[in-house]
Chains A and B, each alone.
Chain A
Amino acid sequence: MKTIIVACGGGIATSQTVAVKLGNLLDDRGLRGQVAVEAININSIPSYLDTADAYVSIAQSGETTYDLPTFSGIPFLTGMGADEEFDKILTALGLA
């Protein structure tokens, strides 16, 4: 089981929107059972560094870089370039 974290201000709205969309994309590829997607509060990222396999950031500008493969969540919000970014994530998780 791989874990993807998505973070925003509260772990409620923006990050969960991205998490739901990632979940649907995983569903479409039949990978739902192999990857967990969790929306969290941006202040809690350090607590997840040991357990997460990838981080989907919606706020990369000015953000600290963490020791995790990091991807942009913006394509999943705007709908532009979502498939490409999703493929990159799958490749990094060894699921492509």
Chain B
Amino acid sequence: MDVIRSVFQWLIDLGAPVFLAIILTLIGIVFRMKITRAISAGLTLGVALAGITLVVDYMLQNVGEASKAFVENTGVSLTALDMGWPPALGMAWGWQFAFLMFPIQIVVNLVMLALRWTSCLNVDMWNVGNKVLTAFLVTYVSDMVWLGFTVAALQAVAELKNADVTRYRLQKLTGIPGVSMPHPMFLTGIWLYPFIKVMDRLLPSTWNIDAQKLRDKIGVFGENHVMGFLIGCGIGALGGYGPSAVLTLGIQAAAALTLFPMVAKLFTTALTPVSEAATNFTKRRFNDREFTIGLDWPIMAGRSEHWLLMILTIPVLLLYALILPGNMVLPFGGLMNICLVVPLFFFTMGNFVKMAIGTIIGIPMQLYVATFFAPYFTSLAERTGGVEPPAGQQLAWFGMDISELRYIVVDAASGSLIGIALAVVTAVLAFFYFRGIKRDDLVFKAELEGTNVAPNT
């Protein structure tokens, strides 16, 4: 036992990129991948982690520096720089226990399928990272790794249940039968549901707009380089930079936002072979069963409402960030507010007006949660990648999936009475949510069967 422990410790001490490269290679070999493919996947993961460190450091050196000037110049204390989801979820893989989440998710899924508690086979392995993050956050506050993974396993259970009770809603929105969506962000429905029901009462669903036309006009602002350039210039200008320095910062900020996805996709490249092996492993065990395939959210991304609303609410987000007392987060990498806008799309069936109202109400909560978690993400960056934010500067993630639930769970795990009270409220809301959303889903099911919708085209 001591030998295993000291070998494991030695591996961890090699640093996250090396450690992860070795672990993923070993996992690949266990799953009977060709040895060269396994080594290639392992190295790619190490490269991804080293790469994400590089771009986060780059962001801190230019945008981070400028944001310090911005704070000094304006007196508005936004000292936590938002890096958005690609680096945040990427770095979660650098946590030393991250890979335990793979077997846990697979076992949870297998057991639930075997007991017929779910009909969803989750093949979305990218979002294993989302449960790694939950486990990390809970472990960080409680110092108990087992508690972190227990909460993460419960999240996996809730995701699968949620996928089951929304599958016909998803089919209605996408036209694709046989799929479901176990993405964590749709658990936001627990708190959204009462708001949605009130809006459904007050607002006629005929109030809508043609999102496509507007998006065609302003869609360019949703491209990373354009968005990065504008926000970089804005931060520079408010930081009192001269014209040439403002433009330079604009290009640097554009570079950071453009490079994030280019590097982050390496995580997918590295993890896809293992996730394929894991999926096949699970499928073989349930060959005779009919199940839905659990996919990531972008199968709904073709609709314009999401993107139009995300772009239109960027100024609202920045205004909130500037005026909300106690907010410390400067939105940057997470300007496109996917994790609030997409659940709103899902639960309002794409009604733009209701989505917009929900977003404007929800952003302050997201900013405060991002402020709350900034020390956690700063620590994650320091320990997994060796990123060193300058003194007084923190890293944050604005727009984290299920911001409200993660805050409540982590606060409760720290023993806070408010956190525990909110957790109880969440449990009650969850009861009504699952009951109500299932009823709604049966209505969609009846509609779909009645109209005999064309299969996947």
Binding site for B on A (CB under 8 A): 7-17, 20-21, 39, 41-44, 46-47, 57-64, 72, 74, 77-80
Contact = CB atoms under 8 A, between A and B. Distances in A.
B302 A10 contact: no
B296 interface: yes
Interface in B111-166: 123-124, 126-127
Given A14-B296, A78-B178, A59 B264 contact: no
B77 interface: no
A41 B275 CA distance: 22
A46 B302 CA distance: 14
Contact of A42 (B86, B127, B268, B301): B301
A9 B297 contact: yes
Contacts of A59: 174, 298-303
Given A14-B298, A44-B223, A61 B269 contact: no
B422 interface: no
A12 to B, nearest CB: 5
Question: Main SS of chain B's interface residues?
Answer: helix
A17 B301 contact: no
B174 A11 contact: no
Given A41-B261, A42-B301, A47-B223, A74 B123 contact: no
Interface string B222-262: 11100000000000000000000000000000000000010
B15 interface: no
Contact of B224 (A20, A41, A74, A79): A41
Nearest to A81: B456
Most buried by A among B261, B264, B276: B261
Contacts of B272: 16-17, 20-21
A16 B265 CA distance: 6
B279 A10 contact: no
Given A13-B268, A62-B302, A74-B456, A43 B293 contact: no
B330 to A, nearest CB: 20
A16 B123 CA distance: 14
- Complex A-B, nearest 7 residue pairs according to Cβ-Cβ distance, in ascending order: A63-B302, A59-B302, A8-B298, A13-B126, A16-B268, A43-B222, A62-B303
A58 B279 contact: no
B295 A77 contact: yes
A77 B294 CA distance: 10
B307 interface: yes
A12 B295 contact: no
Contacts of B212: 64
A8 B301 contact: yes
B338 A12 contact: no
Nearest to B279: A79
Given A59-B298, A72-B456, A12 B303 contact: no
Contacts of B85: 10
Nearest to A23: B269
B268 A20 contact: yes
Contacts of A41: 222-224, 261
B12 interface: no
B302 A77 contact: no
B11 to A, nearest CB: 27
B176 A43 contact: no
Contacts of B179: 74, 78
B126 A17 contact: yes
Given A9-B338, A41-B261, A44-B223, A14 B293 contact: no
Given A61-B174, A62-B304, A9 B222 contact: no
A44 B174 CA distance: 21
A63 B57 CA distance: 36
B315 interface: no
Contact of B299 (A21, A46, A58): A58
B366 to A, nearest CB: 17
A57 B265 contact: no
Contacts of A80: 293
B419 interface: no
Interface string B189-221: 000000000000000000000001000100110
B265 A39 contact: yes
B175 interface: yes
A11 B261 contact: yes
A34 B295 CA distance: 30
Given A9-B338, A74-B456, A43 B298 contact: no
B173 interface: yes
A43 B219 contact: yes
22 contacts: A9-B301, A12-B264, A12-B267, A13-B298, A15-B298, A16-B265, A17-B126, A17-B272, A20-B272, A21-B272, A41-B224, A42-B298, A43-B223, A47-B223, A59-B303, A61-B303, A62-B304, A77-B123, A77-B293, A77-B299, A78-B179, A79-B293
